[in-house]
Chains A and B, each alone.
Chain A
Amino acid sequence: MDISSKKILVCDDSILARKQLMDAVKEIADGATFIEGKNGSEAVDLYKSEKPDLVFMDIVMPEKDGTTALAEIREYDKDAVIIIVSSVGTQEQLKKAIQLGAKDFIQKPFEKNQIKEIIELRLGGK
């Protein structure tokens, strides 16, 4: 699959988690431009300056957590496509993410086919 024109923001405080997610996307589809953020504040700033097509975001992060960043991004752009990728998939977190407009919630450790489905659904055929 070719997603050359697409921009993907990956926001996680772990360099390893960012790498693994980007590797998973690259295995499924080629050509996307990746932007990396290490916390929620960076996610909000990068979203505004780069206007990515898709955002993968963790919840537990320093400075500003993922749900706060999700709310701020959705306030700025109600069409933002944000996927939460977190180890803390509890009822409360899921409820919050849904309410705030996350498009999907992936529990870590993720499986590659979950990433594949999301890429196909959100970036394929556009």
Chain B
Amino acid sequence: MYTQFLGNYLLQKGIVTKEQLFNAMSRLPQTHIKLGTIAIHEGLMTANEVDECLYVQTREDKRFGEIAVERGYLSDEQVNQLLAMQTPEFLLLGQNLVEDGVFSYEELERIMFDYRSEAELYDLSLDVENQEAVEAIISKFFLMAEIPPNELNIMYLELMFNSLIRFIGEDFTPLTPMVIEEFPVTFGVSQNIFSDHEFETHIDCDRETAIAFASRYAKEDFNEFNEYIVASMEDFLNLHNGLFIVNVSNQLSKDISLSPPEVIEDGILSGPNKCVDFPVEYPFGTVHLLVCF
């Protein structure tokens, strides 16, 4: 999971110009991944080894994979595995920039390493017990809700727990999720996500809990319920959903958009299809994370 789109990262580091990036991005729909690029990404070959095989390829009429196997850099099995892999979109972008001569494979290898260490959000790696609990809860949820556990849905929920850990703290206990028809709202914020289908996420808690939640998120000591509390809750949800969309943009070519977050007080929440309540218990109170599909 990434916190920043690769193109954005390259631009900010001054590695590419806007023109170079724009050129490389505009060709993405027609770009096919090369075995060498993905082998570097998977850590199976070094950039030098890829360059060597590419050089040999200009002299011998053989496939890249064949040459890499002959030279002992890859096994047949690894070649097949690499060919079957789904390619993250950011890797295609990197490959286009190499082809445009913006940087070499060797530089791409280093850039990827830095990008991963700076822009990757490690999957619930803070606490193994917590990670297992969350994974169990997510798989149980899909079973209960009779929703197909597709890649997007799983990514969304895992990221939600990651966002809680990252922005609020890891001292929470996930409670049992429930599928519900309607949810009585005390106070909370909602945001709609538009993709292949539309769904809505809502965060709900009482006002005292909201004050504590907001204080942690904004790293400020709030004492009373005011507009900053509401804004913090909205920001958290907006940031989480934004990161989700960046991840989807990095991994798959999907167009997803967000509506501005909204405050809901003392109403009833219902979705077109199903709503699921994921309660998490923090020392300061219970926060309900609701996803309405």
Question: Which A residues lie within 8 Å of B255 (CB)?
Answer: 92
Count of B interface residues, CB-CB < 8 Å: 38
Verify B260–A13 contact, CB threshold 8 A. yes
Q: How far is the CB of A80 from chain B (nearest CB, A)?
A: 16
Question: Which B residues lie within 8 Å of A109 (CB)?
Answer: 239
In the bound complex, how far is the Cα of B234 from the Cα of A61, in angstroms? 12
Question: Which B residues lie within 8 Å of A19 (CB)?
Answer: 228
Q: Point out the residue from B18, B25, B93, B246 that lies within 8 Å of A89, measured CB to CB.
A: B246
Counting chain A CB atoms within 10 Å of each CB, the highest count among B4, B18, B228, B258 belongs to B18
Verify A89–B235 contact, CB threshold 8 A. no
Verify B260–A61 contact, CB threshold 8 A. yes
Q: How far is the CB of A60 from chain B (nearest CB, A)?
A: 5
Q: Point out the residue from A62, A98, A108 that lies within 8 Å of B18, measured CB to CB.
A: A98
Verify A62–B258 contact, CB threshold 8 A. no
In the bound complex, how far is the Cα of B155 from the Cα of A112, in angstroms? 29
Verify A62–B260 contact, CB threshold 8 A. yes
Q: Chain A at the B interface: mostly helix, strand, loop or mixed? A: mixed
Contact of A107 with B4 at beta-carbon distance under 8 Å, contacts A60-B259, A90-B249, A92-B255 already known: yes
Verify B232–A89 contact, CB threshold 8 A. no
Q: How far is the CB of B134 from chain A (nearest CB, A)?
A: 22
Count of A interface residues, CB-CB < 8 Å: 28
Q: Point out the residue from B4, B249, B258 that lies within 8 Å of A92, measured CB to CB.
A: B249
Contact of A87 with B18 at beta-carbon distance under 8 Å, contacts A16-B232, A94-B8 already known: no
Q: How far is the CB of B2 from chain A (nearest CB, A)?
A: 10
Contact of A16 with B235 at beta-carbon distance under 8 Å, contacts A61-B260, A87-B242 already known: yes
Question: Which A residues lie within 8 Å of B286 (CB)?
Answer: none
Q: How far is the CB of A1 from chain B (nearest CB, A)?
A: 21
Interface bits B90-116 vs A (CB < 8 Å: 1, else 0): 000100000000000000000000000
Contact of A14 with B235 at beta-carbon distance under 8 Å, contacts A86-B242, A91-B25 already known: yes
In the bound complex, how far is the Cα of B217 from the Cα of A16, in angstroms? 11
Interface bits B242-264 vs A (CB < 8 Å: 1, else 0): 11011011000101111110000
Q: How far is the CB of B264 from chain A (nearest CB, A)?
A: 15
Verify B218–A16 contact, CB threshold 8 A. yes
Verify B7–A91 contact, CB threshold 8 A. yes
Question: Which B residues lie within 8 Å of A16 (CB)?
Answer: 218, 228, 231-232, 235
Verify A90–B5 contact, CB threshold 8 A. yes
Question: Which B residues lie within 8 Å of A99 (CB)?
Answer: 22
Ranked 5 nearest A-B pairs via Cβ:
A87-B242, A90-B249, A16-B231, A62-B260, A107-B4
Known: A91-B25, A105-B8. 18 other contacts (CB 8 A): A14-B238, A15-B227, A19-B228, A20-B218, A60-B260, A87-B243, A88-B246, A89-B8, A89-B242, A90-B5, A90-B248, A91-B5, A91-B89, A91-B249, A98-B22, A104-B12, A105-B11, A108-B239
